Structure 1
Amino acid sequence: MGAVIHSAPHVIPVSRPPILDGAIAVRRGRVLAVGPRREILAAHPEEEEVRWPGVVVAGLVNAHTHLQFTRMAEVGRRAYDSFEEWSAAFDAVYFSPVRTDWAASAREGALLALRHGTTAVADVVTDVEAMPALSQTGLGGISYLEVLGDTDASWAETGRHHLTSTVRELGGAGDAGTGLIGISPHAPYTLDTGVLADLAVLARRFGLRQHIHLLESVHEREYTISGTGPIARLVRDLGFDFEILRAGGTGHGPVAFLDALGLLGPHCHIAHGVHLDAGERALLRERGVSVALCPRSNRTLGLDGPPVAALLAEGSAIAVGTDSLASSPSLDLLEDVRLLHALARQQGYRSPDLARRLIEAATIGGARALGLDEGPDRIGALDRGARCDFAVFAIDADESDPYRTLIEDGPGRCVATVTGGDQAGRVHLVNSATEVGRGC
């Protein structure tokens, strides 16, 4: 198979400055070269050229979503006054007698993500039948098996065996299986203390990454410190007799609590972090933990936006997520980037690098959160040897700052997404059922 040259008026590789009239040479799902179009064409004179409009950018990485909840969009279309109110609305639909086809719902979500320029995701999977969605659609990333609702007793009786059996079964599936997997301990308030500690051990034993919801609710801190407050009442109402409730808390905030259990480290990233204080942000930086920010989901739940300006100013590792359609109006990651841009300005961030850093968060930042920013299958940037994952946006970029133009005009303007994960390459054309097999 020969190479294919993809060119556009603007190419944003992320790993290097934007290229005016740029091009990417790709073969067998990998990038051969990136540079000015005239140089790439001169180096590959016999190869086919695909000319794209507007801007080509490294594929977006959605660092927090639940694709299986795509058919629960009715929940995400409402506005809520609190996390707890949203949680009750979510549970009413999730646990309703009407059965949802989670596998089909997850596939629909994966295709929606691709249509918005996303090429990889951190997908939290609650029901295992939703696992194959990524491999079935060509979407990259990691499927995180979610664990929630176990007491220490139920974990010892059935929960631990169920998880380890599932991991072994999926891990043994090889090329015919579901791809990369991880573990998602849901949150500090949905699992008993001993379960959380054991999940850290199991993740290390199996070599799996972890992804955790953290400080989405303002009441989470009160729960871990003293075992009181609205979340404590919610947990009791659900019938869980967790150690934190019996002991009257741990005396520690949620971040310190998880750190003491061995859950935090560069193998882990968290979602939301809306209520992180300065000390907690510093601890996450020290541990090498990325924070996936989901501002539109936070807004649906009536929450304040995340402290994006402080995270940027302090040099924290950030990524961007949409969460699911059960809490967000769409899976268009650039919509969340655009809201983060506005929030950062409102919070006082004045550096001219804002747009660039947020596009980096949505690409290489997401790849770093998933541990996919290095090695032969690296994503998030277009450089030699990386997967040829990229998205095309039909916009007229400002030559002085194409990052800002992409944030302002890019949402809803993706016309194609190219993924190279299967070595043959796929071109996903927006508003079309067509996949062109020889994209890479």
Structure 2
Amino acid sequence: MIHSAPPVLPGGDTVIHSAPLILPVSAPPVPDGALVVRHGRVAALGPRAGILAAWPDREETRWDGLLVAGLVNAHTHLQYTHMAEVGRRDYASFEDWSAAFDKVYAGSSIDWAASARDGARQALRSGTTSAADVVTDLPAAGALRDTGLGGLPYLETLGDNDASWAESGRERFRALLDAAGTPMGIAPHAPYTLDTGVLRDVAALARSRRLRLHIHLAEGEHEREYTVSGTGPLARMVRELGFDFAILREGGTGLGPTAFLDGLGLLGPDCHVAHGVHLDAGDRALLRARGTVVTLCPRSNRTVGMEGPDVAALLAEGNPIAVGTDSLSSSPSLDVLADVADLRDLAVRQGYRAADLDRRLVEAATLGGARALGVAGGLDPGGPADFAVFDVSPGAEPYRILVAEGPGRCVATVIGGETVWDRRTAAVAEC
């Protein structure tokens, strides 16, 4: 059966892409499949023979290997690509990594725009078609637009206490949003780098402008102690950075970080969180109730001295999840499938035995990421023609093959019907 969008008129820029196997992810696999692309969108998807018969005399691009709906990197900081020296080490704790990161960041003269564009091109070469890119320094905000990578940049804010935010921080941040020159979301950095009132107001600001939210949550093991009692290694680090927050003055909130953010109005279906390493059953239930996607970045977690998230529990309990790489300052590459492979290993070690593991992890890296960003995912007729091709041999278990063999083996990335990466020409299109 051929699945089609509304009728496509003859002529125009209609092109057919075919492969031995297509994984739309949003629909069952299509052996010897083809998809019709017109005006950057999927016009039809089905068996190749039927597609060629229904659209005769159209140009066909034949790909070897596995054609898959585009990957979504749901948490990264592309501007830190040129800080890869930090990510090449292993650290004993999140606080140790933070100290190393801050030292390099504070002393750097990096061209953040160039660094972010370099990261975007690396992402394209791994099959990523969209990203949630956290932008700390405004010159990096145009990387997605400049390279043709889809997704959304999120302007980050951190460091303000309630007084500094009211005095000038809020207007300064609003001015940066207005000056960005591209649509953006808002990224309050974390529960420990902004004051309580600031976090509440940032959520209100985002909702007043209908902007999406993205925040780090439960990444370090001491974050819970910080929000509950205002004590511990993370609290000491925050004091040493010179932040003057109510949590520190008042001895905490009595709430874990997830409940703390929820009470301030941060959580919801328009917000996704990064890492979620230290979530308990109550936290996971609250995130499910709010429709908040948890983006998992296991290779980054390992770099900063952690075991990684309880992916088995998140899957078994039905939490919506996505996959991110974080930045090269804490991860060896921007290849989302490499993090998917790590998540699989974690889930198995944690006791997940269901046969759906590989499929659900590929869904997390595609549909889950799209949900986090509030965009369309999968290869549905009428949706964007965003996909990647991997040099693997399709078999009876295509999801398993993709997870096991796909990292590092992307041969082409297509966004909006345009080939932006083709290993045969070793070129990333300049946009």
Q: Tell me the TM-score normalized by structure 2.
A: 0.96
Any unmatched runs of 5+ in structure 1?
171-176, 373-377
Question: Which amino acid is the alignment partner of residue 22 of structure 2?
Answer: V
Counterparts of 1:167 and 1:51, CA distance in 2 = 43
Residue 318 (structure 1) aligned to one of 316, 321, 342: 321
SS across alignment from 1:131: helix
**CA-to-partner distance for each residue in 1:166-212, whole Å, 9 max, x for gaps?**
22334xxxxxx43x310000000000001000001101111100000
**How far off its partner does 1:108 sit?**
0.1
**CA-to-partner distance for each residue in 1:362-404, whole Å, 9 max, x for gaps?**
00100001111xxxxx2x2001111100000011022x21000
**CA-to-partner distance for each residue in 1:260-291, whole Å, 9 max, x for gaps?**
00011001000000000000000000000000
Give 1:4's aligned residue. Answer: 15
Give 2:5's aligned residue. Answer: none
Whether contact under 8 Å (1:183, 1:209) holds in the other structure is yes
Counterparts of 1:9 and 1:348, CA distance in 2 = 34
**How far off its partner does 1:344 sit?**
0.5
Counterparts of 2:383 and 2:13, CA distance in 1 = 17
SS across alignment from 1:184: strand
Whether 1:72 and 2:66 are equivalent positions in the alignment is no
Whether contact under 8 Å (1:28, 1:425) holds in the other structure is no
Residue 154 (structure 1) aligned to one of 161, 164, 183: 164
Residue 390 (structure 1) aligned to one of 359, 380, 387: 387
| Matched pairs, number | 419
**How far off its partner does 1:433 sit?**
2.5
SS across alignment from 1:141: strand
- Are the structure 2 counterparts of residues 71 and 194 from structure 1 closer, same or farther at C-alpha, using a change threshold of 3 Å? same
**How far off its partner does 1:434 sit?**
5.3
**How far off its partner does 1:426 sit?**
3.5
**CA-to-partner distance for each residue in 1:304-328, whole Å, 9 max, x for gaps?**
1101000000000000000000000
Counterparts of 1:200 and 1:68, CA distance in 2 = 24
Residue 418 (structure 2) aligned to one of 397, 408, 425: 425
Give 2:7's aligned residue. Answer: none
Whether contact under 8 Å (2:147, 2:429) holds in the other structure is no
Instruction: Report the aligned-residue RMSD.
Output: 1.2
Whether contact under 8 Å (1:428, 1:436) holds in the other structure is no
Counterparts of 1:163 and 1:206, CA distance in 2 = 13
Counterparts of 1:204 and 1:395, CA distance in 2 = 43
Whether 1:413 and 2:409 are equivalent positions in the alignment is yes
Counterparts of 2:203 and 2:248, CA distance in 1 = 21
Give 1:38's aligned residue. Answer: 49
**CA-to-partner distance for each residue in 1:71-111, whole Å, 9 max, x for gaps?**
00000000001000000000010001x41100000000000
Counterparts of 1:361 and 1:297, CA distance in 2 = 17
Whether 1:107 and 2:117 are equivalent positions in the alignment is yes
Counterparts of 2:429 and 2:380, CA distance in 1 = 24
Residue 333 (structure 1) aligned to one of 328, 336, 339: 336
**CA-to-partner distance for each residue in 1:21-47, whole Å, 9 max, x for gaps?**
111100111000111111111111111
- Are the structure 2 counterparts of residues 210 and 250 from structure 1 closer, same or farther at C-alpha, using a change threshold of 3 Å? same
Question: Which amino acid is the alignment partner of residue 352 of structure 1?
Answer: A
Structure-to-structure mapping, 1:232-271, within 5 angstroms: 232-271=235-274
Give 1:364's aligned residue. Answer: 367
Counterparts of 1:434 and 1:303, CA distance in 2 = 34
**How far off its partner does 1:241 sit?**
1.1
Give 2:279's aligned residue. Answer: 276
- Are the structure 2 counterparts of residues 57 and 158 from structure 1 closer, same or farther at C-alpha, using a change threshold of 3 Å? same
SS across alignment from 1:25: strand
**How far off its partner does 1:15 sit?**
1.1
Counterparts of 1:383 and 1:184, CA distance in 2 = 30
**How far off its partner does 1:164 sit?**
1.2
Question: Which amino acid is the alignment partner of residue 393 of structure 1?
Answer: F
Give 1:85's aligned residue. Answer: 96
Whether contact under 8 Å (2:19, 2:65) holds in the other structure is yes
- Are the structure 2 counterparts of residues 190 and 22 from structure 1 closer, same or farther at C-alpha, using a change threshold of 3 Å? same
Q: Tell me the TM-score normalized by structure 1.
A: 0.94
Counterparts of 1:435 and 1:125, CA distance in 2 = 23
**How far off its partner does 1:432 sit?**
1.7
Give 1:210's aligned residue. Answer: 213
Question: Which amino acid is the alignment partner of residue 121 of structure 1?
Answer: A
Whether contact under 8 Å (1:2, 1:47) holds in the other structure is no
Counterparts of 1:418 and 1:290, CA distance in 2 = 26
Counterparts of 2:168 and 2:67, CA distance in 1 = 48
Question: Which amino acid is the alignment partner of residue 395 of structure 1?
Answer: V
**How far off its partner does 1:162 sit?**
1.1
